[in-house]
Amino acid sequence: MDFSEVSLPNGRHTIGKRFEFEAGHRLPSLPPGHKCSRQHGHSYQVEVVLTAPALEGPGFVTDFGDLSAFKQFLDAELDHHNLHDILPFEPTSELLAQFLAGWFAQHVEPTIQGRLVGVMVCETDRSWARFDVEQ
């Protein structure tokens, strides 16, 4: 088969990269009997989703290695911290996803080719929240 005869459809390329950190939190605005009002912890997984209308370099939306500043931020500022002690908001997954999207857009996005689509925060294997950036 001559692969050069395969026509490529138009569209957008999308990539994702997942990061992890460990942290504790509590949600003090919940009633005292709610389990999340008490101190507890999560093995958070955070996934950033990026897109680009055209590929750069050898065929990248963004080189995955260029996202290392985000990992460094998570490790230095959030990993093994009590999130309710350091963040200026109640650390729900929804608000954490929005905050991380803001940090990424401010500190990483200006240095890369791709554009942020959204950030997903997983507290467990079955529970997640996603913040989608308006384009």
- The pLDDT tens digits for 52-90 are 988 998 999 999 999 999 999 999 999 999 999 999 999
Question: Which helix (H) or strand (E) covers residue 131, if one does?
Answer: strand 128-132
Q: What is the mean pLDDT of residues 38-49?
A: 96
Look at residue 96 and tell me whether its pLDDT is greater than 90: yes
Q: Is the pLDDT of residue 11 over 90?
A: no
pTM of the predicted structure, to 2 decimals: 0.93
d(CA 3, CA 112): 31
Q: How far apart are the first and last CA of the chain?
A: 40
Question: If you average pLDDT over residues 23-29, what whole number do you get?
Answer: 94
Which residue numbers are catalytic?
A: 36, 80, 123
Q: For residues 3-13, b (16+ Cβ closer than 10 Å) or e, as one string?
A: eeeeeeeeeee
Handedness of CA 20, 26, 30, 34 (dihedral sign): positive
Confidence of residue 34 (pLDDT cuts 50, 70, 90): very high
Q: How far is CA 57 from CA 49, 51, 76, 100, 112, in A?
A: 19, 15, 30, 27, 12
Q: Note the CATH number of domain 12-132.
A: 3.30.479.10
pLDDT value at position 6?
93
